[in-house]
């Protein structure tokens, strides 16, 4: 079998919010890549055997933070290098050039004139000037700028705000771009990255969903042998893809435990069971634990306390079920690559630490099981591609995220069964209508929240004093910042009418117009 990681690019992360985007773009091209923190050791960098190295952007100024001597171990590898934004400045400065600190930011669209013939940009353009010069429409976001080149480099692109917008040392195959090729606003960005990865670094395109599955299946078989594997199936994208992948790899050696907490979306438990009924070998044990959850949550209004209770009860139920199954050696988990990068990045202190939520944290330590994490190297979009390739329905693969504690944190304050049931119906109407109006995929996450207040209303001839729900829909790609979605008024009107007419006990519907920050996406 061909090694699908043989052609590989290393990305050194200087803390840009776009670093993961660079990696995703390179993987889309079909080349394997990994992200290391910028100060990864020389040994670690050398041992990776990259065919090319990308230096990411970063939030720092080269004036205040010279990033140690990051460039030395990079140059020692003798492979092509592409510095992006701050990455280009680090390269220029540390190789003997000069970077001018500027309080003024250049932010947004810019036009770059291609100044010299360079392997990186040759033949790539959005427009042409009358004299035949190629023009690129690019996206910039920087304050500092390179003002003097290191020896051996020439300017290959310039813009009004950045006379030195692209640089190259063709002989040593070292390149720098002041703009961001990884964002879609740079129209030829993908082409430029392709040029670097495929032609300049000589990497092929064997990193495809089908190849990744093929290889994972082999690896899982090799790792677990004939042992039994346990999986906590939640119905979310990651655990569902793990289930489908393990089914392909080890069939009936897999047992899934699906804890129906009673805090899931309407009919979700049945849907999960139906989906996996079609997968060969998979044994899904459904534990209907709704009553246990409602009992445990009775009288508890504090959000953090609710989270702890829900999490601990999950572990207790899961363990009790697991004990009934003999000979289990492995626990499968849906850890994905961003989780791994987050923990590594946290160590450098460069990227802001992101809150991470691990639903099944604590399980492996307590249960003395070995871990199998087949998605550990994959980005979410890759997990989705693999899910589709393994035959999972689009509805699961492209489903909005759902918090581990489920509706437990969407019924504000005390969680009562009747509140949950009302909320499930409200949420179902909202989501159903979003799908029907082709708006579901336009927003990153949408849901309803049950508010523990009552409000007065009139219905027919009578006065009513009933509950209030809030609808929330957000647009975001990283869930760290988010805008509230500008859903059409007519659509909201239609949804609101349906909810009030069809869900008894609800007399008022509100729409949440808070961004994150300062608000979080969930209400608790
Ligand atoms: P916040 O509310 O922090 O949410 O802006 C960001 C993303 O994380 C999800 N979320 C959770 N996921 N357990 C989870 O598994 C949790 O306790 C939890 N709280 C929030 C939220 O739905 C959003 O996608």
Report the length, in residues, of the chain. Answer: 524
Least confidently predicted of 66-70, 232-236, 253-257:
66-70
Protein residue with least CA distance to atom 16, ligand 1: 403
Closest by Cα among 133, 140, 138, 150 to 97: 150
Protein residue with least CA distance to atom 10, ligand 1: 403
Q: Which of 302, 399, 514, 521 to mutate to test the pocket of ligand 1 (most atoms within 8 A of CB)?
A: 521
Which atom of ligand 1 has the smallest separation from the CA of 522? 2
User: For strand 106-114 and strand 154-158, is the pairing parallel, antiparallel, or unpaired?
Assistant: antiparallel
Q: Which of 232, 236, 264, 357 to mutate to test the pocket of ligand 1 (most atoms within 8 A of CB)?
A: 357
Residue 189: other Cβ atoms inside 10 A = 24
Q: For residue 249, report the distance from its CA to the centre of ligand 1, in Å.
A: 31
What local confidence, expressed as pLDDT, does residue 365 receive? 65
**Coil, strand or helix: which one is 330?**
strand
Q: List, by residue number, the catalytic residues.
A: 85, 180, 182
Distance CA 422, CA 124 (A): 56
* pLDDT at residue 87 tops 90: yes
Protein residue with least CA distance to atom 8, ligand 1: 403
What predicted TM-score, i.e. pTM, was given to this entire model?
0.88
Give the mean pLDDT of the chain: 93
Interval 9-58: pLDDT, tens: 999 999 998 999 999 999 999 999 999 999 999 999 999 999 999 999 99
Q: For residue 401, report the distance from its CA to the centre of ligand 1, in Å.
A: 8
Is residue 489 within 8 Å of 415, Cβ to Cβ? no
Interval 202-211: pLDDT, tens: 999 999 999 9
Distance CA 154, CA 167 (A): 6
Protein residue with least CA distance to atom 3, ligand 1: 520
Main-chain dihedrals φ then ψ at residue 426, nearest 5 degrees? -60, -50
Residues with CB under 6 A from ligand 1: 307, 355, 357, 359, 401, 403-405, 445, 479, 516, 520-522
Cis-peptide, bond into residue 221, ω within 30° of zero: no
Which atom of ligand 1 has the smallest separation from the CA of 307? 17
Give the full edge-to-edge strand order of the sheet including 81-84: 32-37, 8-13, 52-55, 81-84, 174-177, 166-169, 154-158, 106-114, 134-142, 127-128
Q: For residue 173, report the distance from its CA to the centre of ligand 1, in Å.
A: 43
What local confidence, expressed as pLDDT, does residue 58 receive? 92
Percent above pLDDT 70 for the chain: 94
Which atom of ligand 1 has the smallest separation from the CA of 523? 2
What local confidence, expressed as pLDDT, does residue 102 receive? 79
Is residue 387 within 8 Å of 239, Cβ to Cβ? no
Closest by Cα among 14, 78, 94, 23 to 46: 78
Which atom of ligand 1 has the smallest separation from the CA of 359? 15
What is the b/e burial string over 98-118, where b = at least 16 CB atoms within 10 angstroms of the residue's CB? ebeeeeeebeeebebbbbeeb
Closest by Cα among 154, 158, 157 to 171: 154
Interval 351-396: pLDDT, tens: 443 333 344 455 666 677 899 999 999 999 999 999 999 999 999 9
Q: Which of 402, 403, 410 to mutate to test the pocket of ligand 1 (most atoms within 8 A of CB)?
A: 403
Q: For residue 338, report the distance from its CA to the centre of ligand 1, in Å.
A: 15
The listed range with the strongest mean pLDDT (2-6, 138-142, 289-293) is: 289-293
What local confidence, expressed as pLDDT, does residue 347 receive? 52
Q: For residue 482, report the distance from its CA to the centre of ligand 1, in Å.
A: 12
What is the b/e burial string over 338-363, where b = at least 16 CB atoms within 10 angstroms of the residue's CB? bbebeeebeeeebbeeeeeeebbeeb
Q: For residue 492, report the distance from its CA to the centre of ligand 1, in Å.
A: 24
Protein residue with least CA distance to atom 18, ligand 1: 403
Q: For residue 247, report the distance from its CA to the centre of ligand 1, in Å.
A: 28
Percent above pLDDT 90 for the chain: 85
**Coil, strand or helix: which one is 85?**
coil
Interval 434-470: pLDDT, tens: 999 999 999 999 999 999 999 998 877 778 899 999 9
Burial class of 228 by CB neighbour count within 10 A (0 to 12, 13 to 18, 19+): middle
């Amino acid at each position: 079998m061909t090694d699908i990681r043989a052609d590989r690019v290393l990305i050194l992360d200087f803390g840009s919010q776009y670093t993961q985007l660079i990696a995703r773009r390179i993987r889309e091209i079909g080349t394997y890549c990994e992200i290391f923190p910028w100060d990864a050791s020389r040994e670690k960098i050398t041992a990776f055997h990259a065919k090319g190295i990308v230096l990411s952007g970063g939030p720092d100024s080269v004036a205040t933070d010279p990033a140690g001597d990051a460039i030395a171990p990079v140059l020692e590898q003798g492979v092509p290098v592409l510095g992006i934004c701050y990455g280009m400045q680090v390269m220029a400065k540390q190789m003997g050039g000069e970077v001018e600190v500027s309080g003024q930011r250049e932010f947004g669209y810019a036009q770059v004139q291609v100044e010299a013939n360079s392997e990186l940009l040759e033949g790539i353009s959005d427009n042409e000037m009358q004299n035949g010069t190629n023009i690129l429409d690019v996206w910039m976001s920087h304050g500092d700028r390179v003002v003097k080149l290191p020896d051996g480099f020439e300017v290959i692109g310039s813009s009004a705000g950045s006379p030195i917008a692209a640089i190259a040392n063709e002989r040593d195959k070292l390149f720098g771009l002041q703009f961001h090729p990884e964002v879609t606003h740079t129209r030829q960005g993908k082409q430029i990255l392709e040029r670097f990865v495929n032609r300049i670094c000589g990497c092929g395109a064997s990193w495809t969903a089908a190849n990744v599955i093929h290889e994972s299946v082999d690896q899982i078989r090799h790792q677990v042998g004939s042992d039994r594997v346990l999986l906590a199936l939640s119905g979310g994208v990651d655990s569902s893809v793990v289930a489908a992948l393990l089914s392909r790899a080890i069939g009936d050696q897999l047992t899934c435990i699906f804890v129906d907490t009673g805090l899931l979306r309407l009919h979700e438990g049945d849907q999960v069971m139906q989906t996996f009924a079609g997968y060969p070998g998979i044994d899904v044990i459904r534990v209907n634990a709704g009553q246990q959850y409602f009992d445990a949550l009775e009288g508890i209004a504090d959000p953090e306390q609710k989270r702890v209770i829900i999490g601990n009860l999950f572990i207790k139920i899961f363990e009790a079920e697991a004990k009934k199954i003999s000979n289990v050696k492995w626990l499968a988990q849906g850890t994905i690559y961003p989780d791994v990068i987050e923990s590594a990045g946290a160590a450098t202190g460069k990227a802001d630490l992101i809150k991470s939520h691990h639903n099944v944290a604590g399980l492996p330590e307590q249960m003395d099981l070995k871990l199998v994490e087949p998605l550990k190297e994959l980005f979410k979009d890759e997990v989705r591609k693999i899910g589709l390739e393994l035959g999972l329905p689009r509805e699961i693969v492209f489903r909005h995220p759902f918090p581990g504690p489920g509706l437990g944190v969407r019924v504000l304050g005390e969680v009562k069964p009747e509140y949950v049931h009302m909320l499930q119906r409200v949420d179902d109407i909202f989501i159903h209508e979003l799908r029907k109006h082709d708006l579901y995929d336009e927003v990153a996450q949408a849901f309803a929240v049950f508010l523990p207040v009552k409000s007065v209303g009139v219905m027919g001839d009578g006065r009513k004093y009933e509950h209030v729900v809030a609808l929330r829909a957000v647009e975001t790609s990283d869930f760290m910042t988010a805008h509230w979605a500008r859903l059409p008024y007519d659509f909201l009107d239609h949804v609101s009418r349906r909810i009030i007419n069809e869900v008894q006990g609800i007399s008022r519907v509100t729409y949440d117009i808070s961004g994150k920050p300062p608000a979080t996406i969930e209400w608790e």
